[in-house]
Structure 1
Amino acid sequence: MLKGIRQRTIGSYASLFFIFVCLSVLFYLNIINILTVLLGAFWATVFMAWLTNRRLITPVEQITSVAQEMAGGFLDTEIRVEGEEELDDLAWSINYMARELRKNLIVITEERNRARAILNSMADGVIALDKYGQVILINPVVEEIFKIKETNWLGNKIIKVIRNHELEELFIRALHSMQPVMNSELQVLTPQPRLFNIHVTPLKGNNDEKIGVVGLITDVTERRKLERMRTEFVANVSHELRTPLTSINGFVETLLDGAIEEPIIARNFLEIISAEGKRLANIIDDLLKLSRLEDRRTKLNKQPVDLAEVIGNTITMFEGRALEKNIQITTEISPKLPLVPGDQGFLSQVMINLVDNAIKYTLTGGTVHISVKFNEHEVTVTVSDTGIGIPIESIPRVFERFYRVDKARSREMGGTGLGLSICKHIMEAHGGKIRVESDSSGSQFSFSLPLKE
């Protein structure tokens, strides 16, 4: 191609030289004068310059301009020139190269978007470092866990991104040894303490060239919490069932050993056995209710429920106990309170549990206040008391099964330790929420129910 252009260029200069020689010969033979020679040479030069510009310089400039645009990323532009055959071939080759680059770029973009979509949809965190130990990729899970943005992690050392020397050591060890590194459990502040399972794998290129490392971070905090709760639940169930059974067996043995012959003692023992038997039955009933609620085996009989009526019935049920402790029960309910879609039996059980606890843990002469507020989306019922309150460290756990703030006192008052857990599951079955606030002046238990299913 270049050979053909070179030949045409040499031919153009040779043609000019030939015309100049012919004009010189004619001048020498006195056929034309010097002015004619100069004018002829001028116009011949102008014509050849115009021809060279049209067929060579202008197409080359067009090709150069479009090539620069392509280099800047505008691959949709194509070269359209009218020039020498060789330049047409060059323009076609560049256009073909641009089309192939577009195809390859589309494939690369699709692969990158697919990889990014996979990373974004992963439940686990991903951190990638280059061979210099600088962060080159973090997926949204890690950004959410550690509350960081791309501008804060891109190109930084991992210790500057996540302030944990143990985590940094795992990545650096994998980077230097180019061997997988695992850590069964690592505690990191995020800002709350959380447990993570870390698996760091080296990235290798051609000929085992070191490229970097990638770490998979799995949050096992909830898993460990559930395992602990399960272990505690088994232990608590065993303890809660064993205590009344031990008491019953002990008194029965005492009766069989001769105490049955003494009517007063025998009656006292039988009353205790009856009470422990009822408590055992209550625990088993509550466990069955909780099991059905958790397994979604209990179907709610939803219909419009008048919460004012439910609250009124609950207050009537506890008026006698409140009077014994000189506790005043007050209410704040709007007459325009709308009906709530729900299972009246289950909602009554929630109110009974909350009011029962409020009266139990409120000292003599105290107050229990029930208020109901609503907006266009939900109804919120709050049961407040002036009782002994709940320690701040126990508030997150009060809805756990068998969790008691004061175990001895709760058991003494006849509680099974399952009431609040049942309330929580009833609320979840209704699509609502239950929460607690407490301090030394008393506690507030609130639950919210949606007005639309």
Structure 2
Amino acid sequence: MQKKIFIVFFVILLVGILLTGFLSLSLIRSSYMNQLEEKLISNAVLIQEFIKEDDNNFLNTTGLQEKMQDLGDQITTRITIIDEYGNVLVETFKKEGIIENHRDRPEIQAAYRGEVGKAIRYSNTVDLDMLYIALPLHTDEGNVVVRLAVSLLEIKKINQTLFYYIAISIGSGLIIAALIGYRFIEKIMEPIKEMTEVSKKMATGRLGLRVYVPSKDEIGELADHFNHMAVRLEEMIAKLSDSNTKFKALLTSITNPIIAVDNKKNVILLNTAAEKLFNIEGKDAIGKHILEVIRNNRLDEEIKKVLQDNIETQIEINVKDPQEKNLKVYTNLIRLENDPNKTIGLVTVIEDITEIRKLEKIRSHFVTNVSHELKTPLTSISGFVETLKSNTIEDEETKQRFLDIIDIETERLKRLIEDILTLSEIENSQHRALQEEVFPTNMMRQVEEMMRPIASNKGIELSSEIDMNLPMIYGNKDWFKQMLINLIDNAIKYTPSGGKVLLTGYKKYHNIVITVKDTGIGIPKKDLPRLFERFYRVDKARSRKVGGTGLGLAIVKHIILSFKGRIKVNSEQGKGSEFTVILPIEK
């Protein structure tokens, strides 16, 4: 900026000085020429008077030539006298040869008309530029013209001298003016430069900077306004930053995923919960179409409909990427505060209902299975009771067999109800389970002694390999015992006579590992993932035959979860199964 101002200033100054110099030169030359013309006219008038006084010698051209020659030398002027026919009678600058007729000269023509003739031109006679002045003279012997001329060589010298001095003046003036002007412009530009530098630093975030200009002129006033603007800007940005921080904190703290889109369905905002749900980075999602973030055509169509109809809705969608989820989406239009009728997009609040739907499905299956499991023994009991009440059976042995069946079904029904209540109790007590001291070695020994007669009655060998000094863990002692009983009971039930069941317990790293291994019928690989579901049976007929309720392993799983542990299963059909329980040791 300073350079531009200086260049403009320099050009204006140069033009002004040049115009002044050339106008001065022209004025001096014009003034000199006017003085020269007046001088020639005065001399011409004196020569006229001289000729009139000496009229009797007028025809004596030789005498006149000599007198004019002397006079011309005295006044350093060329004197020429021409008759009325253009013939030269006297020429003080005469050269060799014949002097041509002067009748057609412009100054002579003017003199013939009775005027003062003036002309400037190159003279072939003397080979110089000349100024000519011609005056008419009336004598008794006829009309003649007295013409005086001077060389313009002197004025050329004067012009050259003037040009030289003017050039020196222009050069000196330009240098001095440029130095003064540069310093003056630099002084003016200093506060502007300071404001520019401060504004650059403020653009990088240093909003506390200010400019200091002591002058009281317009630039000082500009600096004051700049500082005032900086204060207001700092306050405004602080408020915006505070609001933005609070907004981000609020947005981050909301557990529900939130995504906002503009009227073109491009994402303009999403919170941390949405990033986690769809496994995306916020910076990568901003500006993209909603279909690029959530690949669901139904959602895209619903957003389009909401934007067109201005009707807020809620829908349920199923997404496959990054993993299959059931989502409930609430749409709300974004309206301008000062113009509620104008919308700039919409915000979607998403609720992950995958677990809810899964629980609803499990509950539905559970109710169905419970109903079925309860209905079967009840139907059997009801049928035999009706038969016995009808008194159509007189055979006591048959009656006793029917009563035995009713007793078996009643016992089965009792076990089923007990298992359902146990499972319900464990599920409802996960967060308030007892934290008792549990000694795994003692508990495993007790359960082994408890289950040994059951295994012996079936002809199965129950053995154990238990470390004698297993560390203590915390949890519900009764649940721990129930877990062991269910695992060993399952192993005995599905192991044929002559088989073996092995109970082991040892410490590995920071865990207690308990395994129950049998040589039973085994479990098909396709059934392993569903083994711990409620009422799931690999062989339903065999399970009912051996008295299984289908809840034993589900109870085992929830007990292990209460101890913050995990369970694994390895099985091969015809060779047996191995259940491995891993329980962490709390430090």
2:247 is the alignment partner of 1:108: no
Residue 73 of structure 1, CA deviation: 3.4
Measure, in 1, the Cα distance between the counterparts of 2:524 and 2:322. 22
2:329 is the alignment partner of 1:198: yes
Give the equivalent residue in structure 2 for 1:277: 410
SS at match of 1:215: strand
Q: Which amino acid aligns with 1:201?
A: N
Give the equivalent residue in structure 1 for 2:477: 344
Give the equivalent residue in structure 2 for 1:74: 206
SS at match of 2:345: strand
Give the equivalent residue in structure 1 for 2:443: 310
The answer to whether the Cα contact below 8 Å between 1:173 and 1:181 also exists between their aligned partners in 2 is no
- The 1:424/1:363 distance shift into structure 2, 3 A limit, reads same
2:549 is the alignment partner of 1:416: yes
The answer to whether the Cα contact below 8 Å between 1:389 and 1:443 also exists between their aligned partners in 2 is yes
Q: Which amino acid aligns with 1:153?
A: A
Measure, in 2, the Cα distance between the counterparts of 1:189 and 1:280. 42
| Residue 262 (structure 1) aligned to one of 372, 392, 395 | 395
Q: Which amino acid aligns with 1:148?
A: I
Give the equivalent residue in structure 2 for 1:174: 306
Measure, in 2, the Cα distance between the counterparts of 1:244 and 1:330. 35
Residue 247 of structure 1, CA deviation: 1.9
2:286 is the alignment partner of 1:154: yes
Give the equivalent residue in structure 1 for 2:359: 226
Measure, in 2, the Cα distance between the counterparts of 1:390 and 1:167. 43
Aligned CA RMSD, in angstroms, stands at 3.7
- The 1:297/1:392 distance shift into structure 2, 3 A limit, reads closer
Q: Percent identity?
A: 37
2:163 is the alignment partner of 1:163: no
Query: Rg bigger for which structure?
Result: 2
Give the equivalent residue in structure 1 for 2:249: 117
- Count how many residue pairs are aligned between Structure 1 and Structure 2: 420
The answer to whether the Cα contact below 8 Å between 1:248 and 1:276 also exists between their aligned partners in 2 is yes
The answer to whether the Cα contact below 8 Å between 2:252 and 2:273 also exists between their aligned partners in 1 is yes
Measure, in 2, the Cα distance between the counterparts of 1:51 and 1:152. 54
Gaps of 5+ in 2: 1-8, 18-167
The answer to whether the Cα contact below 8 Å between 2:257 and 2:349 also exists between their aligned partners in 1 is yes
Q: Which amino acid aligns with 1:76?
A: G
Residue 98 of structure 1, CA deviation: 1.8
The answer to whether the Cα contact below 8 Å between 1:292 and 1:298 also exists between their aligned partners in 2 is no
Higher relative contact order (CA 8 A, sep 6+): 1
1:263-298 CA distance string (max 9 Å, x none)? 322222222222222222222323333333333399
Give the equivalent residue in structure 1 for 2:223: 91
Q: TM-score, normalised by structure 1?
A: 0.78
| Residue 248 (structure 1) aligned to one of 370, 374, 381 | 381
SS at match of 2:318: strand
Residue 413 of structure 1, CA deviation: 1.6
Residue 257 of structure 1, CA deviation: 3.0
- The 1:115/1:410 distance shift into structure 2, 3 A limit, reads farther
Q: Which amino acid aligns with 2:292?
A: K
Q: Which amino acid aligns with 2:583?
A: L
- The 1:229/1:90 distance shift into structure 2, 3 A limit, reads same
- The 1:374/1:90 distance shift into structure 2, 3 A limit, reads farther
1:175-211 CA distance string (max 9 Å, x none)? 444433432x322113443211223333344644442
The answer to whether the Cα contact below 8 Å between 1:435 and 1:446 also exists between their aligned partners in 2 is yes
Give the equivalent residue in structure 2 for 1:294: 427
Residue 100 of structure 1, CA deviation: 1.9
SS at match of 1:82: coil
Output aligned runs, 1:129-140, within 5 Å. Answer: 129-140=261-272
The answer to whether the Cα contact below 8 Å between 1:59 and 1:83 also exists between their aligned partners in 2 is no
The answer to whether the Cα contact below 8 Å between 2:571 and 2:578 also exists between their aligned partners in 1 is no
Measure, in 2, the Cα distance between the counterparts of 1:366 and 1:137. 65
2:578 is the alignment partner of 1:447: no
- The 1:439/1:449 distance shift into structure 2, 3 A limit, reads closer
Residue 353 of structure 1, CA deviation: 0.4
Gaps of 5+ in 1: 1-8, 18-34
1:99-149 CA distance string (max 9 Å, x none)? 222222222222223222233233322222223322222322232223222
Measure, in 1, the Cα distance between the counterparts of 2:325 and 2:431. 35
The answer to whether the Cα contact below 8 Å between 2:430 and 2:562 also exists between their aligned partners in 1 is no
- The 1:445/1:175 distance shift into structure 2, 3 A limit, reads farther
Measure, in 2, the Cα distance between the counterparts of 1:72 and 1:302. 58
The answer to whether the Cα contact below 8 Å between 1:130 and 1:136 also exists between their aligned partners in 2 is yes
Residue 224 of structure 1, CA deviation: 1.4
Give the equivalent residue in structure 1 for 2:318: 187
- The 1:221/1:48 distance shift into structure 2, 3 A limit, reads closer
The answer to whether the Cα contact below 8 Å between 1:59 and 1:82 also exists between their aligned partners in 2 is no
- The 1:63/1:330 distance shift into structure 2, 3 A limit, reads same
- The 1:366/1:120 distance shift into structure 2, 3 A limit, reads farther
The answer to whether the Cα contact below 8 Å between 2:566 and 2:583 also exists between their aligned partners in 1 is no
Measure, in 2, the Cα distance between the counterparts of 1:353 and 1:86. 94
| Residue 216 (structure 1) aligned to one of 349, 365, 376 | 349
Give the equivalent residue in structure 2 for 1:382: 515
Give the equivalent residue in structure 2 for 1:31: none
- The 1:99/1:221 distance shift into structure 2, 3 A limit, reads same
1:156-183 CA distance string (max 9 Å, x none)? 2232333332233223333444433432
Residue 375 of structure 1, CA deviation: 4.7
Measure, in 2, the Cα distance between the counterparts of 1:227 and 1:108. 45
Output aligned runs, 1:334-373, within 5 Å. Answer: 334-363=467-496, 367-373=500-506
- The 1:173/1:276 distance shift into structure 2, 3 A limit, reads same
SS at match of 2:234: helix
SS at match of 2:288: coil
Residue 62 of structure 1, CA deviation: 0.8
Measure, in 1, the Cα distance between the counterparts of 2:301 and 2:431. 51
The answer to whether the Cα contact below 8 Å between 1:126 and 1:216 also exists between their aligned partners in 2 is yes
Q: Which amino acid aligns with 1:145?
A: L
Residue 393 of structure 1, CA deviation: 6.2
| Residue 191 (structure 2) aligned to one of 44, 51, 59 | 59
